[in-house]
Amino acid sequence: MAVSSGASPLGCRRALFLATLALAVLASSALGDSAEDATCSVQDAAAGNCAAGKTPEQKDVPASEPKKRKKKKAKAAKEEKAPASKPPAAAEQKAAELKVAEDGMTADIYQLCPLANTPVSPFVRKTLNMLPRITGTLRMMGLWPAGIYPDNWADEYILANYVIVARIAIGMYKSRNHDYVNIPTEMLDPTDVAHVENVFAPHSDVDGSPNFFWFESIIPDFLKRKLYVPIMTCFYSSLRKLSVENNTLAGHFEDSLDDEVVQQDSAFKTKRDWVMAFYDSVRTWDGKPMWPNQMTDFSTYFQKDQWADELENAIAFHLIGTHRLESGSWTLPGYESTALPFRIALNSFSAFEVRQHFGKYGVDLYFNSEGLPVLLQTPDGEVVKRGDKQWQYWKFVWRSSLVTGITLTDHLHLTHFRAANLLARSSRARVPAAHPIRRFMSIFTFGSIFVNMQAMHTLVGPNHLLHRATPFKNFAKLSQQVPELMDDLLEVPAIKALVNESAWEQLHPTLKALPFYADARLLVGALRNLVRNLMVQTAPLFCTAAGEFQPGTSAFRGEMTNEIQEAHYKIDAQMLRPDLSCSEFMEIYEKRLHVYLFMVTGWHRQVGFVGDYYGDPSLATMSWKAGEAFGRPRQHMIMTIVNVFTSTSQPLLDDDYTHLFKGMEPDLQSGFTKMWQDFRAELQEVTKEIDRRNEKRQIKNINMSPRVLAGSVSK
Q: pTM for this structure?
A: 0.89
Of residues 676 and 67, the one with the higher pLDDT is 676
For residues 454 and 392, membership in a common domain is answered with no
Residue 543 predicted with pLDDT over 90: yes
Q: Is position 279 within any domain?
A: no
Say whether pLDDT at 256 is over 50: yes
What pLDDT score does 255 carry? 85
Our count of domains for the chain comes to 2
Residues 339 and 447 in one domain: no
Q: Which pLDDT belongs to residue 85?
A: 45
Whether 466 has a pLDDT exceeding 60, the answer reads yes
The Cα 428–Cα 440 span in angstroms is: 12
DSSP 147: T
Segment (H or E) for 195: strand 193-196
Q: Do 346 and 425 belong together in one domain?
A: no
Residue 142 pLDDT > 60 = yes
Nearest to 510 by CA among 322, 266, 704, 321: 322
Q: Within 13 Å, how many C-alpha atoms sit on residue 463's CB side?
A: 26
pLDDT of residue 511: 98
Closest CA to 715 of 210, 370, 263, 127: 210
d(CA 445, CA 424): 5
With a cut of 50, say whether residue 75 has pLDDT above it. no
Q: Which of 398, 430, 449 is the last residue of a domain?
A: 398
In angstroms, the CA 104 to CA 67 distance is 44
121, pLDDT greater than 80: no
Distance in angstroms (rounded) separating the CA atoms of residues 135 and 281: 19
Residues 435, 376 within the same domain: no
Per-residue pLDDT at 79:
43
Rg from Cα positions in the chain: 26
Say whether pLDDT at 689 is over 90.
Answer: yes
For residue 27, pLDDT over 90 is answered with no
Last residue of a domain, one of 365, 398, 431: 398
pLDDT score for 73 = 45
Q: How far is CA 562 from CA 12, 131, 538, 565, in A?
A: 48, 46, 24, 5
Confidence of residue 262 (pLDDT cuts 50, 70, 90): low
**Residue 322 pLDDT grade (very low, low, confident, very high; cuts 50, 70, 90):** very high
Which of 543, 691, 711, 629 has its CA nearest to residue 180? Answer: 711
Residue 62 included in any domain: no
For residue 102, pLDDT over 90 is answered with no
* Domain match, 512 and 579 both: yes
Helices (H) and strands (E) in the chain, counts: 27, 9
Contact 466, 459 (CB under 8 A): yes
- How far apart are the C-alpha atoms of 557 and 593, rounded to whole Å? 13
Based on the fold, state whether residues 587 and 677 are members of the same structural domain: yes
Please check the confidence at residue 218 and state whether its pLDDT lies above 70.
Answer: yes
In a domain, 77, yes or no: no
DSSP per residue, 360-395? PP--EEEE-TTS-EEEEE-TTS-EEETTSTTHHHHH
- Domain ends where: 367, 398, 429? 398
Structural domain including 315 reads 304-398
Mean per-residue pLDDT, 486-511: 97
Q: Is residue 693 part of a domain?
A: yes
Q: Which residue has the higher pLDDT, 248 or 345?
A: 345
Average pLDDT, integer, range 449-455: 97
**Domain match, 539 and 473 both:** yes
Q: What percent of the chain has pLDDT over 70?
A: 84
Q: Provide mean pLDDT across the span 607-626.
A: 97
* Residues 528, 391 share a domain: no
Judge whether 618 and 629 are in contact, CB under 8 Å.
yes
pLDDT tens digit sequence for 286-313: 999 999 999 999 999 999 999 999 999 9
Q: How confident is the model at residue 132 (pLDDT cuts 50, 70, 90)?
A: confident
Residue 254: the pLDDT is 83
SS (H, E, C) 507-565: CCHHHHCCHHHHHHHHHHHHHHHHHHHHHHHHHHHHECCCCCECHHHHHHHHHHHHHHH
Mean pLDDT of the chain: 87
Measured in whole angstroms, how far is the alpha carbon of residue 5 from the centre of its chain? 26
- pLDDT given for residue 406 in this prediction: 98
- Cα–Cα nearest to 121, from 150, 153, 97: 97
Element of type H or E holding 450: helix 448-455
In a domain, 441, yes or no: yes
Instruction: Tell me: do 393 and 431 sit in the same domain.
Output: no
Res. 663: pLDDT tops 70: yes
pLDDT tens string 391-419:
999 999 999 999 999 999 999 999 999 99
Most distant CA pair in the chain, distance: 93
Instruction: State whether 439 and 578 are in the same domain.
Output: yes
Please tell me whether residues 471 and 372 are part of one structural domain: no
Asked if residue 468 lies in contact with residue 254, where contact means CB atoms within 8 angstroms, the answer is: no
Residue 260 has pLDDT above 90, yes or no: no
The arithmetic mean of pLDDT across residues 366-388, rounded, is: 98
For residue 210, whether the previous peptide bond is cis, meaning omega lies within 30 degrees of 0, is yes
Does residue 359 carry a pLDDT above 50? yes
Q: CATH number for the domain including 668?
A: 1.20.245.10
User: 536 lies in a domain?
Assistant: yes
Question: Is residue 83 a part of any domain in this protein?
Answer: no
Q: What is the pLDDT of residue 114?
A: 83
Share of the chain above pLDDT 90, in %: 75
Confidence of residue 613 (pLDDT cuts 50, 70, 90): very high
Q: Tell me what pLDDT residue 89 has.
A: 58
Residue 504 lies in a domain: yes
Closest CA relative to residue 375, chosen from 333, 416, 408, 405? 333
Q: Do residue 372 and residue 308 come from a single domain? A: yes
Question: Is residue 45 pLDDT above 90, yes or no?
Answer: no
